[in-house]
Amino acid sequence: MHRPVSRTPRALSISRPMSEEAHGLTRRTLLMMGALGASVLALAAPLARAQEAAPAAEVSEEAAAEDSIIKSHGYSYFGDLKYGPDFERFDFVNPDAPKGGEIAIQASGTFDSMNPFTVKGRAGALSSSMYESLLTDAADDYNGSYCLLCESVEYDAGKTWAIFHLREGITFSDGTPMTAEDVKFSHDLFIEQGLPSYSAGVSARVLGAEVIDPMTVKFTFAEGISRRSLISQVGSTPVFSKKWYEETGARLDESRFEISPGTGPYMLDSYDVNRRIVYRRNPDYWGKDLPLNVGRNNFDTIRVEYFGDEAAAFEGFKAGEYTFRIETNPRQWATAYDFPGVQNGTVNAEELPDGLPPNNLGFVFNLAKEKFQDKRVREAIALAYNFEWTNESLQFGLYKHRESFFQDTPLQAHGLPEGDDLTFLQELGDIVPEELITEPPVGVHTSDPARLNDRRNLRKAGNLLEEAGWSVGDDGLRRNAAGEVLSIDFPINSASASSLEPVLNNYAQNLQALGIQTNFEKIDPSQYTNRTRAREYDMVYDGYRSLLGTGTGLAQMYGSKEAEFSVFNPAGLASPLVDQIIDASLDTTSQEMQDASLRALDRALRHEFIMVPTWYKAGNWVAYFDMFEHPDIPPYDLGYLDFWWYNQERADELKAAGALR
């Protein structure tokens, strides 16, 4: 299976922050915000097969033949859906959860569009939540996708095509029916007006969509390519109203506040630019009685309050201006959650589990810059980062140092390769550097937690820079043979967490001690978005999405073909070694060899040294007013906008006590 950790979800479910660009919102929310545009990617496969997996499909009598046709209530590449065709609900929900009430979250910065797929500016938070796709996911089954807009999916054993049979009675929020024409139109719209990296990647794999009848649409896939991600790709694309786009003349990629109707459980109620967005549950939502919606979509309204900075947002939470908060600032989490609301039980502050691997955040190099072509320069710059001192002095010892692209999962590479891992690398041939086989994977350096400027590391960094041809002049700055100063331009989003700036300032001290000229420039969120999309930086605090398996979307993240323009590849990595590993990974036919291929990818990415890895934590720091309740948290989603619910009696008590505005 190859479902993304961060694809546009069916429900309003979000988990961990992807980057500081959208501080206060979480990983899945970033897609909803349109921060990465039309990024409906099929990036990942399962970490492991689901426990007690149900049969994936109702297979025809010719199932044993190569030309067999498979028809199912969902899709999994390895054929191991957790839930069978007659499931009554997902295991992680409370089927008796009451409907009603409001949950309010916060966002920092600004928004200048309600179109989540605009390629310019910043879209409003959760603006893609109104749109559904043919397939949806379950928070406790990383292997499978389940039919949502479709009733069943049908495909040949070779996965050269897929036919989706739509459910009866699906309507957009304006009351118009959804048909196969809308599905085809939406696919074509993303190809024609989506991000270039998306359009190029998908059009090369999906030859086209064909309307068979009003309730049936067929996708045909290219030959000679991996079969992975193809069905998931077309199944996870949001579906729009063809009628609305044709009547309005709107474009998918433009910045606008006028929105197209969606089929989702929530619809836009109101917005006040840069201040507030309110979504309300659609009382006529077509899918409210589906088994996969039992116990979900429980809030009547979801409100997003915008704040200029983190300090104002935190004060707003304490004052009851919004009611649920994901905390990302370690100083605040360690020292500021002793305010009266927490002390008297009005507010709950707790750490909840998160089964997803951390996103691969760090200080990313722009590899298109000539000064970073020499890996010794990148390694020297990394040595100037003192994680241990930063964590103890600025982050209250709450973080761990990330070193792997599959941190704390069975896909993380350790020690020398052996078994399937060694076999996979050896079969790649001479393109594999000897050290990937004879040495452990590249790790992170250790530093003295007692002093910021670890002299041992700075001395080693200085030697590397000298070897690379960057010598210190009389003015203390490093220059190459052409007299060019070694400098780093590093834009910072002004809406970032306040905890990021002191980390960067102290990092800059060590870089300057090495003779590297640093320019950490704070800019407004819209400008930051445009500059990072255009790769107008030397380094940036950004990263790569976490994943638990292989998929063709890997090429958009790490592949050479789209390295110059893919927004999912902030380093612009273009490595023949990585390309070959991805290609070979896509050809694996078992879970075991797929996992071996991803451990090889981990070794290769760490060898390429595309970023300075920073910090991570394993759980979610959350605070919320004591009127929300939740079931046991499933492995792959915190789900507070999805399957949590509102306790009306407790809410009335809080309002009577003056705890809420």
- Residue-wise pLDDT for 634-654, tens only, equals 989 999 999 999 999 999 999
Q: What percent of the chain has pLDDT over 70?
A: 90
Provide mean pLDDT across the span 473-488: 96
What pLDDT does 10 receive? Answer: 30
The mean predicted confidence, pLDDT, of the chain is 88
Quick one: pLDDT at residue 46? 28
**CATH number belonging to domain 360-469+538-613:** 3.10.105.10
Model confidence at 3: pLDDT above 50:
no
* Confidence check: pLDDT of 54 > 90: no
| Range from 66-80, 93-107, 132-146 carrying the lowest mean pLDDT | 66-80
Band of residue 67 on the pLDDT scale cut at 50, 70, 90: low
pLDDT digits (tens, 9 = 90+) for 372-392: 999 999 999 999 999 999 999
Output the pLDDT for position 78: 82
Burial 377-412 (b: 16+ CB within 10 A, else e): bbbbbbbbbbbbbbbebbbeeebebbbbbbbebebb
d(CA 497, CA 562) in angstroms, rounded, equals 31
Q: Could you say which DSSP state residue 15 is in? A: -
| Chain CA centroid to CA 180, Å | 29
Confidence of residue 209 (pLDDT cuts 50, 70, 90): very high
Among the listed residues 447, 426, 428, 448, the one whose alpha carbon sits nearest the alpha carbon of residue 437: 426
More confident residue, 45 or 319: 319
Q: Which residues in 620-631 are b (16+ Cβ under 10 Å) and which e?
A: bbbbbbbbbebb
Residue 660: the pLDDT is: 86
Sheet holding 301-307, edge to edge: 102-108, 301-307, 276-281, 266-272
How confident is the model over 126-150, as a mean pLDDT? 95
Does 11 have pLDDT greater than 80? no
pLDDT average, residue stretch 573-596: 94
Angle between helices 591-608 and 576-586 (to 10 degrees): 170
Spans of all domains in the chain: 20-94+121-255, 360-469+538-613
Could you tell me which of 363, 323, 324, 318 has the C-alpha nearest to residue 344?
Answer: 318
Please compute the mean of the pLDDT values over residues 470-486 and round it to a whole number: 96
- The pLDDT score that the predictor gives to residue 69 is 94
The CATH H-level superfamily of 20-94+121-255 is Dipeptide-binding Protein; Domain 1 (3.90.76.10)
Tokens of 344: 């008297």
Q: Worst-scoring range by mean pLDDT, 47-56, 224-233, 303-312, 341-350?
A: 47-56
Q: Is the pLDDT of residue 48 over 90?
A: no
Burial 105-121 (b: 16+ CB within 10 A, else e): bbbbbbbbbbbbbbbbb
**DSSP H/E element including 576:** helix 576-586
**pTM of the entire structure?**
0.81
618 pLDDT above the threshold of 50: yes
